[in-house]
Amino acid sequence: MILSAQGLCKSFRFGEQQIEVLRGVDLELAEASSLSIRGDSGCGKTTLLNLLARLETASEGKIQWKELSLDASTKASTQEIRLRANFLGVVYQAYYLIPELNVLENVLIGASLAGRNRIESKNRARYLLSKMGVEEKQTQIPQKLSGGERQRVAIARALINQPKVVLADEPTGNLDERTGGEVMDLLLESCQQEKSSLLLVTHNRTFAEATDRQAFLQDGSLNPL
C-alpha cells in the first residue's frame, strides 16, 4: 500500500457538545490506483483528506505513507513536512493559486518547497502545462484565467514533484459540467500516466465511478461500494 489509515477518529468540541466527525476510519490505497469517496456535505470528507496529508491532527489513529508509520494524533514533524512535498500532491476545489505569481511560478512553488533543481523543474512545469493545454498561459496571472484553466494549472502544480499520491478535494466543484468533465478526464489520465495514486473526493457519481474503487463516507465511517 502506498497510503493507508487505521482507526482515524476526529471530533470537535462545540460549546459543551462533542461532535464526532470521523469514527475509526480505515483506508487503503494501492500504488498507481484510484479511489473515490462520496458523501453528503459536511460529512468529513475534507477533514479526512487533511488528516491523510497531515495538515490536521486526528483525535486518534495511524497513517502510513509507504513505509513511514505516523501517529495521526500528533503534529507533523519537520521530516514529514519535507517528505510531504515530494510524496503528496493536492488539488483543491478553490484552486489556491497565488495571485501575485504567474502561472509558471505557481506551478514551480511545490518544486521550490521540495528543493528540486530549478532548471529541471522549469522544464517539467512547462511540460505539464502543455499537457494541461495551458502552456501559452504561463506568463499570465491567475485572475486572467477561467476557472477551468486555473484548475488545470492546479493539477500541474500538484504533479510537479511526481508525487506518489494525489489528493483531490472536489476538484470540479467550481466548474460547469462540460469544463468539469474535461478537467476530471485530465486529472484521471495524468495520474495514470504519472503512476500517481489518486484519492478523489467528489459529489459526482459519474466521476466517482471512473476510479478503480469507490467508497462512501457516512456517519463518520468509510464504507466500500
Question: Over 90: is that where the pLDDT of 169 sits?
Answer: yes
Q: With cut-offs at 50, 70 and 90, classify the pLDDT of residue 222.
A: very high
Question: How much of the chain exceeds pLDDT 90, in percent?
Answer: 90
179 within 8 A of 132, measured Cβ to Cβ: no
Alpha-carbon span 61 to 11, nearest angstrom = 12
Residues 6+ apart with CB under 8 A from 165: 2, 3, 29, 65, 87, 88, 89, 196, 197, 198, 199
CATH of the domain at 161: 3.40.50.300
140 within 8 A of 102, measured Cβ to Cβ: yes
Question: Over 90: is that where the pLDDT of 14 sits?
Answer: no
Residue 17's pLDDT is 87
Determine which helix (DSSP H) or strand (DSSP E) holds 23, and give its type and residue range. strand 17-29
Alpha-carbon span 63 to 25, nearest angstrom = 11
Question: How much of the chain exceeds pLDDT 70, in percent?
Answer: 100
Choice between 41 and 99, residue whose per-residue pLDDT is larger? 99
Residues 6+ apart with CB under 8 A from 91: 151, 154, 155, 158, 166, 167, 168, 169, 171, 187
- Number of structural domains in the chain: 1
Helical H segments across 92-221, by residue range: 103-113, 118-131, 147-159, 177-194, 205-208
Alpha-carbon span 172 to 175, nearest angstrom = 5
Alpha-carbon span 122 to 177, nearest angstrom = 32
Q: With cut-offs at 50, 70 and 90, classify the pLDDT of residue 16.
A: confident
Alpha-carbon span 87 to 120, nearest angstrom = 18
The per-residue pLDDT of the chain, averaged, comes to 95
Q: What is the pLDDT of residues 204-213, one digit of tens each?
A: 999 999 999 9
Residue 216's pLDDT is 97
Q: What is the pLDDT of residues 108-155, one digit of tens each?
A: 998 998 889 999 999 999 999 999 999 999 999 999 999 999 999 999
Q: What is the pLDDT of residues 170-206, one digit of tens each?
A: 999 999 999 999 999 999 999 999 999 999 999 999 9
Q: With cut-offs at 50, 70 and 90, classify the pLDDT of residue 13.
A: confident
Q: What is the pLDDT of residues 151-165, one digit of tens each?
A: 999 999 999 999 999
Q: What is the pLDDT of residues 78-90, one digit of tens each?
A: 989 989 999 999 9
Provide the residue range defining the domain that includes 9: 3-224
Alpha-carbon span 58 to 62, nearest angstrom = 9
Residue 186's pLDDT is 96
